[in-house]
Amino acid sequence: MARVDMTETEQGGTGNEPPTSSRFRTALGGLRRDPGIWRRGILLALFAVALTLLMVLHADIPNRIGNLGSLTETFLPWLGLFVPLLLVLALLRRSATALIALVLPAVVWLNLFGGLVADKSAAGGDLTVATHNVNADNPDPAGTAEQLAASGADVLALEELKGDMVPAYEKGLAKAYPYHSVQGTVGLWSKLPLRDPQPVDIRMGWTRAMRADVVTPKGEVAVYVAHLPSVRVKLNAGFTANQRDASANALGEAISDDRHERIVLLGDLNGTMNDRALNGITSQLRSTQGAAGDGFGFSWPASFPMARIDQILVKGVEPMSSWALPETRSDHLPVAARVKF
């Protein structure tokens, strides 16, 4: 057989390129000879440390000045965006100090929120529930009702029900949900019988919360519907959330006094699960999104969701899955969950 010899150039090389290992050693040697690699990027490193402390100590940020602590906790997951930004800047600066410091906020963010990124949903469940702030200025309540009726939820909670729009929702949901009760500006629609619907006082001066027992084939479950007061960010006042906080405490007290072993809370709480102001509620109930969701499940604003303020919280039942429903004509996304008794 004839022997064919090919030169390095014929094989695709230039004939004078050093081996890959040699190029790597050369580059590494260049970095070692660069005396500024440790001195550059000190400010970036300090920013990375500050970011780490902000995430670790967020619960210690005081609310005395403009509810700054609650504001930080509302958008706490978004602090993770600074990590890739700092990474790019550290690489551009060729700063070993900044790169090493960047490990701190990356690890802390993953510890806080890494579990939310993975899909934790499972098949099965006994009851599907959903909640939606339909927006008092919704231009198409009939269309919104039609979308929600097609969601497949067994129990549906609506918030921000404007008085003259209630008939449109009652008509649009009547076929899918034979049982319903409206209390003030919140309502509960169900495919299963409702027992003893009544308003819940959350210190608002008017009704924005209610409770009813839903009778299922596997037993009753107490369902709360709540719409806590809105919060605002104002330049002269900061994060105005005092009324929301007082209502959250009142709702927490009502749930604490409830002797039912199975409880589901549906509603627009105008706060995230990280917000300390909701501790009176979150210390008693589990978030379905945190336990069985896929991702963060942001629900507001609908056009570009940035925070999960529409919540489904449970006690005495097991969350199986949690998700956001398609956008309606509201400024919130509907959210749903499936639970197992």
List pLDDT tens digits, range 175-219.
Answer: 999 999 999 999 999 999 999 999 999 999 999 999 999 999 999
- Residue 311: predicted pLDDT: 98
Which of 117, 136, 159 marks a domain boundary?
117
> Can you give the residue range of the structural domain that contains 85?
20-117
Share of the chain above pLDDT 90, in %: 81
pLDDT value for 189: 98
- 265 found inside a domain: yes
Residue 131, domain CATH: 3.60.10.10
Distance between CA atoms of 127 and 148, rounded to whole angstroms?
A: 16
Pairing of strands 155-159, 127-133: parallel
Instruction: Kindly state the DSSP code that residue 278 receives in the 8-state scheme.
Output: G
Res. 63 pLDDT band, cuts 50 70 90: confident
Q: Which of 252, 253, 265 is nearest to 226 (CA)?
A: 265
The reply to whether 145 and 293 lie within a common domain is yes
| Residue 173, domain member (yes or no) | yes
pLDDT over 70 (residue 30): no
- Does residue 96 sit in the same domain as residue 134? no
Structural domain includes residue 220:
yes
Q: Is there a single domain that holds both residue 198 and residue 225?
A: yes
Residue 90 has pLDDT above 90, yes or no: yes
The residue with tokens 């005395």 is 64
Does 113 share its domain with 136?
no
Q: Answer yes or no: do 87 and 215 share one domain.
A: no
The model's confidence at residue 8, banded by pLDDT at 50, 70 and 90, is very low
Cα(134)–Cα(138) distance, integer angstroms: 7
Indicate the pLDDT class of residue 76, thresholds 50, 70 and 90. Answer: very high
User: 263 and 326 in one domain?
Assistant: yes
**Same domain for 199 and 315?**
yes
Out of 97, 117, 137, pick the residue that ends a domain. 117
Residue-level pLDDT at 2 = 46
Q: What is the mean pLDDT of residues 284-311?
A: 96
**pLDDT of 35 higher than 80:** no
pLDDT for 316-326, tens place per residue? 999 999 999 99
Measure Cα distances from 2 to 5, 8, 252 in Å.
Answer: 10, 19, 88
10 falls within a domain: no
**Final residue belonging to a domain, choices 117, 143, 166:** 117
What pLDDT was estimated at residue 178? Answer: 98
Number of compact structural domains in the chain: 2
Count of Cβ atoms closer than 10 Å to residue 73 Cβ: 22
Question: At residue 237, what are phi and psi to the nearest 5 degrees?
Answer: -130, -5
Sign of CA dihedral 240, 63, 300, 84: positive
Per residue, what are the HEC states of 245-272? HHHHHHHHHHHHHCCCCCEEEEEECCCC
CA–CA dist 234, 218 (Å, integer)? 48
- Is the pLDDT score of 7 beyond 50? no
Of 53-57, 231-235, 292-296, the least confident: 231-235
Mark whether 31 and 144 lie in a shared domain.
Answer: no
Higher pLDDT, 199 or 12: 199
| 82 falls within a domain | yes
Same domain, 52 and 171: no
Whether residues 108 and 222 fall in one domain: no
